[in-house]
Amino acid sequence: MSGGEPVRPDPGPVTAPDAPVLDVAGLSVAFRDGRGWREVVHGLDLSVAAGTCVAVVGESGSGKSVTARAVLGLAGAGARVRADRLDVAGADLRRADERDWRRMRGARAGLVLQDALVSLDPLRTIGREIGDPLRLHLRMPPAAARSRALELLELVGMPHPALTVDRRSGELSGGMRQRALIAAALALDPPLLIADEPTTALDVGVQARVLGLLEAARDRGTAVLLISHDLAVVSRMADRVVVLHDGRVVEQGPTAELLGDPRHPITRALIAAVPTEVPRGAPLSLAPHGADAATADRPPGPAPAATSAPGLPSSGPPGAPVTATRPPILEGLGLTKSFGSGPTRVLAVQDASFRIEPGRTLGLVGESGSGKSTLARLVLGLTAPDAGEVRLDGGPWTTLPERGRRPLRRRLGAVYQDAFGSFDPRWSVRRILRDALAAAGAETSDAAVAVLLDQVRLAPGVSAQHPLALSGGQRQRVAIARALAGSPDVLVCDEPVSALDATVQARVLDLLDEIQRERGLAMLFISHDLGVIRHMSDTIAVMRSGRIIEQGDAERVFTAPEHEATAALIRDSPRLVIRGPGSNR
Amino acid sequence: MTSRRIFRSLPAVALVAAGAIVLAGCTPADGDAAATGDPVTGGTLVYASGDAEPSCLDPHVGGNYPQALIAGQFLESLVSLDESGEVIPWLATEWTTSEDGLTWDFTLREDVSFTDGTPFDAEAVKANVEHLKDPATQSSTGYLALGKVDTVEVVSDTVARFHLSVPDSALLESLSQPWTAIESPTGIARGMDENCVAPVGTGPFIVDEWIPQDHVSLVRNDDYTTGPADRAHDGAAYLDGITWRFIPDSASRYAALQAGEVDIIDNAQPDTLDQASKSGTLVEIDAPRPGAANRLELNSGQPPFDDIRVREAFIRAADVNDGIDSLFFGTADRSYSVLSSVEQLAYSDDSLFDTDLDEANALLDEAGWTERDSRGIRSKDGVPLTLRFPVSTNQSIPAEQSLFEQVQATAKEAGFDVQLSPVDLSSWYGALAAHEYELVSAPYTKVGPDVLRILYHSDSITPAPSGYFANLAQLDDADLDALLTAAASESDPDERADLYEQAQQIILGGFYALPLYDQQNHFLHSPGLEGVRAMPTVSTPTFADAWLAD
Amino acid sequence: MPRSRVLRRVALRLAGAAFVLWAVATLTFFAIHLVPGDPAQAILGGPGSQASQEALDEVRADYGLDQPLVVQYGAMLGRLVTGDLGDSYALKTPVAELIGGQILGTLALAALALVVAWVLAVGLALWSTSAGRIGRAIAGGLELTAAALPHFWLATVLIAVFSTSLGWLPPVSNDAASGLVLPVITLAVPLAGFLAQLMRERMLEALEQPFAVSAAARGETAAGLRLRHALRHAALPAINLSGWAVGYLISGAVVVETIFARPGLGRTLLRATELRDVPVVVGVVLVVALVYVLMTLATDVVSRFADPRIAREEAPA
Amino acid sequence: MSDLELSNRAVAGRSLPRPPRIGTVLALAFVAFLAVATFAPGLLQTTDPDAIAPRDAFEPPSWAHWFGTDESGRDVYSRVVEGTAASLLIGVSATAIGLALGLLLGGLAGLGGRVLDFAVGRVNEVLFAFPGILLALLIIVLWGPGPVTATIAVGLSTAPGYARIIRGELVRVRTSSYVEAARVLGHGRARVLVRHILPNALAPLVVLATLGIGQAVVWASALSYLGLGAQPPAAEWGAMLSAGRIYITTAWWLTVFPGLMIVVTTITTTMLGRTLAARDGSRR
């Protein structure tokens, strides 16, 4: 499949000149390692026409970002970039020297990186950051640059530009930062805009607005190269999709066709992995492939239906009342927690009550800062509530002294977002798991460790490894194994998959599902991703600024949200939209 | 007294041997010899002193060498010495002593007045002596020097009569020292604080201002008429003034002289002297100090040095000649006398100081120090032959400290374990006061052989309240005491000479001290500076006749 | 952050500063009084003087040295509160005056040295981060060597080269500015070694950050990246070192002032220690502590100003 | 303090500008040399380091005397070798003292809760307020000069720096999510402290130590210059340096070689320290 002439996108206006704005052919990028060169991008073809958006998707390590940076000559000091063609806005950059690159960056192509917290200089005001390209390319005097910056902030819909222009990134919310970053990229209205995971780690609401900005830019005629692992995002705004795997294009084509009728297994896996609208219990992962499967995975367990433990309904019948008859294993009663004091006092959690029955999952969703994690910490007994209490299996939990809690802790397992960070950097997998077993008073033999690993579909060999040597998916599995060591009744999962690639995420979610069935675990599942939440949860609690604003059966919440904010949340969350022929769903 | 010892800042004096340098006058008379060409009036001399800054410019208070150095520029004494060591007139024109030697009449110069206008007369002399003897003055050196003076009687304006408790053959020598110089009574009357900052005298210069830690500036006394009898010219000094700086670091001081930042430095280091004499661009004044020579005192007050055989063994073992040659670049002469070579009555006997390791060993075996440990250190009844040797880093210059290391090394061959410990001044005095030493080097500056009495008379073993005592050899010998006392009051020169010779024979013969070399006192100055000379009294330079050519 | 918290913090810092000064004064006072060696002796011409018992007693009475230590301590604190540092034993003059006459020289020296050190460090950091592996290795070597140079040795070498051999600069301080050059360099070079080390590491760190990439993507020049972005990040930790640096410089001043015959606190202290001149030692130590405290307060403000992040996560000590 | 950044980077796991491989090799070689010089100086010496020969004083470097001879005709090379033990002893023990005190203070601050933390913070400031030599002079006034006092003085003056770093590390680890994870597993405070906090927080100290040694030697030499250092004829580098400096214009080799030893030692230890840091870092 040739990435030659631009494809007319079905939606949106078309302002396609004959020559693509970005035209790359036979791009290969290699890094020096040891004595030789390691090629990470192999002969990649790519072209983006004005007013269109081409998305490059693929898992981490597939070469997405490297490609994006190579196009700007920013692949890195030790990198070797070769290309048969490398034109940006009509300029051939194959022989470009540093000065040529500088003249091109910012002027002909703008870059928007993910996580603006680190992508904006924390010590400089966003006004100056936005002013940079103006100063550098137009030699614009500071005053002029500032006023232009204000306009740009208006353009990207920054609230109170006049105030924020003199703020530093640390003083802004994630969304404002991302806006500032985009404003800086658009300062000179470059023909090409490269957006590398522009919406990752943003709350859905913000996400939607940021995508809106990119779409606006595209509609103004800017060629947008979108780097993303999130097919939902891609399906929303890309005209064309290029699927990368191990630095090679495995498939590309118009978004609708490609998503509607994926040919390559990689693509299939990617699409399948998107949890949106996949019914509770149905597996997300296809036949194993990819990094962590290759090294240590075993095929995912047999069909869920088969394994669903008898007596434990794998999911409540749609519309069933949340207030089940069986006593809750975990119960929160009017939990309130505040930090700081005096004027700076913040109510992190306010009068939150909930209940989880054995074998069921409570999905806790909400934007960042809504109090999800604090609630998790309360449940785990890591901080004491100011008011209210958490009861475990009908008995006291948070009201107990730590000394009294310790023997009970084994009944509560925790899985964190950053699995790696939750491991002692000096310990091997074996030691980590033994330590967990010891804490639970279980036997700590190698056999026991092997059993744990087996439960998370990891080969016994992994136990000798250091977490550093494991892939993200494997690490999360080890973390789950650790949580299972005490054969707990409740599993608290705080954003367990947010840091993982789509397919890996899929497998981990499947794993959690299976484990829940096998053991009849109750789960408190926290995520900002509605897709994931919907897929994983029996009941859902929506949090907003410390309060649980809505709670109820998963389907009900999604189909008939009661609270306006919930509705907005659902509305804004990007979902994989398959247009065109042959949808496989 | 011990002046030179107090407050000498780190790397201090250097030594060079009189005579070793062939400069026509490596003698106190150097100035005159160098004084070629016609004197030029004007210019301000910059003097760089390596000695620590005095805390009081009045040499009556305390009384140390740094004070003497600067006080010599604005204060004058009743008498002085000439190069041959004969007493000559200064502020006193003549003097007579009674038969019993208990009263002295000094006839004073007329129409002399202090720079504050106060007339110089017998009253002034009386006031000064009383000032010196007043405990509140906190005088040490002057106080001791006039120890035998009871009162001063004003016979007339121009005649002052000293009444002594016992005859003092050293009186004139004592009065020739800067520490007994005559100050304006009006100045003294201002009280110590003021007088310390700007003492008033009759000298060629006047203290203008003193900026602590930096410099003292002196200006010419235009009405200057006096001066010792051997002065080169009459009337006011040629120089407009002197900037008296304090540059404690010897290397910097020498560099400053080379760079022309200063005109003259004291305490020149041996290696720099060597350079200077090789390059020939700088002029050197070598003025060994009077009084005692630099020597190691052997503490005979306690074991092991209470045994003369051990003392002799040490002196036979400790080889210093090569060290003196190499460390001092052949600029210091080995001395075999406890007295400075400038002292007329110095008696030396090199035969006593031959080194002979075999004999040293024999003596130690005989004395019972027979056992030796792995390091070859001898011991007796389990007690090792240890010699504690506190060294004051403030007053022993690096070269001297190196020499001590060599003593340590050579003495070790005979089985002595010399434990050098370089310490700061306070700790050093602490060690001495506590008798925690077997060896010590403690130079002592005073005009005349009477210094022997201070250093070796058994009276000097009893410590002052501070714990300080001068007889560091702790030499306690009745015959010696008798000799020294007699000599101190003997007026007949030949008799006196004979007594002092006998005394010195006892000291040297008893191996109480290992003489090293004269108290070195070297000045380097730019060739542009002429007519400067060191006073024959305590070898401080005087700029009364000096001028800056070109 | 809200005014009230600012005020509370300021109050806290000031209280801390006061505490530091009090503690320093107390420690020094008792330390000195543990020393063998009698103040009265120090007053009467120092060790080895032959002051009579009467004189000693008189002085003890005058200076209240016959009082119990606690009383003396109280007296000292009382005087300190009124800013009176007492009289020097050796010079008999008020310590405050004495120090007043000396402090400017030292502060000027330290300040200049600090500036020069910064210039050197920044220059070296900028150069070395743009240079290649070899360049960095060399820079690293230079920094370490500089940091490992003892002041007294460096000073001697500088004098030997620039005064004695080349005759460009005066070996000892004089009224002319040229007299400051060598002392300042002597003090600055080792410090620059430290700072450069720190800054280079921080700059490289900053240059690895995404914000550097996005700045580059806006067309920022290599120099711009370092000057406008990395340098600020590198400067912060170095600024926070300033308090320590001043202490370091004053330590160095003890040696440097001796070698270059500059009047100053360092020499005063050295001398006073030799003479056991208690009031002066206490005075100097106090003043130095004061300078340190003020410096840290200043850097606190500066870094707060330069980096709003600090204000947000507040960390004690 | 640059050590602080260093350790943090180590923790952050970013790879430092590692010294070139050859450098590491050379460094190790030099360390080997130091080791031999320390424990078996005889193997390296050409003559008895204390044997004086006044007649051969001030001889420039030659085949007979690689580093020349000093003012007493002693072989500078042999003395430099001889001095290794003494100098390193000063460096090592001073650093040890500093670290020990730093551990105490830092430990109290890092683990003792807010109040203690604040208190220690002030104590630290007090210590900081005594600049190196100032403190040294005071201590020497107290206990008199000598290598021991010098060592203690240098050690004390480095303590507050270490204390800060250690506190920082402790706080970092204490609030790390793996410590939280351990608590969630139900481990007791003591166990968490011993199993997780201490080992992880104190790992960087190895690096700091290597960095501190060189500096300690330098400081000690400054004290020797003020005449308050090692006792003769101890051939300690700092003492040699200060003894030789007055001859700098006439006999440069007296100071250059001991000086070189100090500098090279510092560089070596620092380089190894960094390599360690990088190792440690990459492991996290």
pLDDT digits (tens, 9 = 90+) for C218-243: 888 888 888 888 888 888 878 877 77
Residue A35 has pLDDT above 60, yes or no: yes
The mean predicted confidence, pLDDT, of chain B is 86
Q: Which residues of C touch B253 (CB under 8 A)?
A: 172, 261
What percent of chain C lies above the pLDDT cut of 70? 90
Task: Tell me whether residues B424 and D227 touch, CB distance under 8 A.
Answer: yes
Please give the single-letter amino acid code of residue A539.
T
D239/D227 Cα distance (integer angstroms): 9
**Testing the interface with B: which of C34, C38, C50, C52 to mutate, by most B Cβ within 10 A?**
C50
Domain positions in chain B: 4-287+521-548, 294-517
Chain B interface residues (partner D, CB cutoff 8 A): 10-11, 250-251, 269, 271, 274-275, 322-323, 325-327, 393-394, 398-399, 401-402, 404-406, 408-410, 419-424, 427
Same domain? For A531 and A443 the reply is yes
* CATH code of the domain made up of B294-517: 3.10.105.10
* CATH code of the domain made up of C95-314: 1.10.3720.10
A138-173 residue pLDDT tens: 888 888 888 888 988 888 888 888 888 888 877 787
Mean pLDDT of A470-478: 87
A414 to chain D, any CB pair closer than 8 A? The answer is yes
B166-178 residue pLDDT tens: 999 889 999 999 9
Domain that holds residue A81: 22-117+168-272
Task: Return the pLDDT at B422.
Answer: 82
Q: Which residues of D touch B405 (CB under 8 A)?
A: 52, 72, 232-233
Is D224 or B509 the better-scoring residue by pLDDT? B509
Q: Which chains touch A (3 or more CB pairs under 8 A)?
A: C, D
Same domain? For A252 and A395 the reply is no
Would you give the distance in Å from CA A310 to the centre of its chain?
Answer: 34
Task: Tell me whether residues D200 and A412 touch, CB distance under 8 A.
Answer: no
Task: Return the pLDDT at A312.
Answer: 40
Query: Chain A neighbours among D 167-196 (CB < 8 Å)?
Result: 176-178, 180-188, 195-196
- The 3-class SS string of C69-135 reads HHHHHHHHHHHHHCCCCCECCCCCCEHHHHHHHHHHHHHHHHHHHHHHHHHHHHHHHHHHHHCCHHH
Domain positions in chain C: 16-81, 95-314
The interface pTM score, or ipTM, of the predicted complex is: 0.77
Residue D185 has pLDDT above 90, yes or no: no
Which CATH fold would you assign to the domain D23-41+54-283? MetI-like fold (1.10.3720)
Q: Which residues of D touch B327 (CB under 8 A)?
A: 54, 57, 71-72
C282/B400 Cα distance (integer angstroms): 34
C268 to chain B, any CB pair closer than 8 A? The answer is yes
CB B192 within 8 A of CB B135: no
Lowest mean pLDDT among A3-12, A533-542, B232-241: A3-12
C153 φ, ψ to 5°? -75, -50
Query: Chain C neighbours among D 243-272 (CB < 8 Å)?
Result: 245, 248-249, 255, 259, 262-263, 266-267, 270
Task: Return the pLDDT at C192.
Answer: 92
Would you give the distance in Å from CA B126 to the centre of its chain?
Answer: 26
D233 to chain B, any CB pair closer than 8 A? The answer is yes
CB A267 within 8 A of CB A245: no
Which helix (H) or strand (E) covers residue D274, if one does? helix D253-282
- Nearest Cβ partner for C47 among B135, B248, B425: B425
Q: Which chains touch D (3 or more CB pairs under 8 A)?
A: A, B, C
Mean pLDDT of D132-161: 78
Residue D147 has pLDDT above 80, yes or no: no
Please give the biggest Cα pair distance in chain C.
85
D234 to chain B, any CB pair closer than 8 A? The answer is no
Task: Return the pLDDT at B131.
Answer: 93
Task: Return the pLDDT at D228.
Answer: 67
Q: Which residues pair with D252 in a beta bridge?
A: none
Same domain? For A331 and A188 the reply is no
- From C315's Cα to the closest Cα of chain D, the distance in A is 10
Task: Return the pLDDT at D21.
Answer: 67
Mean pLDDT of A287-293: 42
Counting every residue, how long is chain B? 550
C95/C110 Cα distance (integer angstroms): 21
Last residue of a domain, one of A238, A272, A306: A272
Task: Return the pLDDT at B164.
Answer: 93
Integer-rounded Cα radius of gyration of chain D = 22
Please give the biggest Cα pair distance in chain A.
74
C202-217 residue pLDDT tens: 888 888 888 888 888 8
Same domain? For A260 and A383 the reply is no
In chain C, the residue whose alpha carbon lies closest to the alpha carbon of A76 is C213
Domain positions in chain D: 23-41+54-283
Report the number of distinct structural domains present in chain A.
2
- Nearest Cβ partner for D200 among A426, A466, A485: A426
| C162 — pLDDT class (breaks 50, 70, 90) | confident
Residue B355 class from Cβ within 10 Å (0-12 exposed, 13-18 middle, 19+ buried)? middle
Q: Which two tokens stand for residue C224?
A: 């711009």
A18, A344, A2, A55: which is closest to A226 by C-alpha? Answer: A55
Query: Burial code of B484-520, b = ≥16 C-beta within 10 A, e = fewer?
Result: bebbbbbeeeeebbebbebbbebbbebbbbbbbbbbb
Lowest mean pLDDT among A68-72, B175-179, B342-346, C62-66: C62-66
Task: Return the pLDDT at A54.
Answer: 92
**Domain at A550, CATH number:** 3.40.50.300
**Testing the interface with A: which of C204, C205, C218, C313 to mutate, by most A Cβ within 10 A?**
C218
Q: Which residues of C touch B198 (CB under 8 A)?
A: none
Q: Which residues pair with D3 in a beta bridge?
A: none
The mean predicted confidence, pLDDT, of chain C is 81
Task: Tell me whether residues C160 and D125 touch, CB distance under 8 A.
Answer: no
Task: Return the pLDDT at B375.
Answer: 86
The mean predicted confidence, pLDDT, of chain D is 79
Task: Return the pLDDT at A481.
Answer: 92
Q: Which residues of D touch C198 (CB under 8 A)?
A: 1-2, 5
C310 to chain B, any CB pair closer than 8 A? The answer is no
Q: Do chains C and D touch (3 or more CB pairs under 8 A)?
A: yes
A398 to chain D, any CB pair closer than 8 A? The answer is no
D20 to chain C, any CB pair closer than 8 A? The answer is yes
C74/A207 Cα distance (integer angstroms): 68
Domain B4-287+521-548 is classified in which CATH homologous superfamily? Periplasmic binding protein-like II (3.40.190.10)
Lowest mean pLDDT among A160-164, A493-497, B396-400, D201-205: D201-205
D201, D95, D108: which is closest to D151 by C-alpha? Answer: D95
Is D249 or B384 the better-scoring residue by pLDDT? B384
Question: How high is the mean pLDDT in each 10-residue block of chain B (550 residues)?
Answer: 34 30 36 61 92 88 88 94 89 91 92 92 94 84 87 93 92 92 93 90 93 89 90 90 90 88 91 86 89 92 92 92 88 91 89 91 92 90 92 84 91 92 81 90 86 90 79 92 90 90 93 92 92 91 89
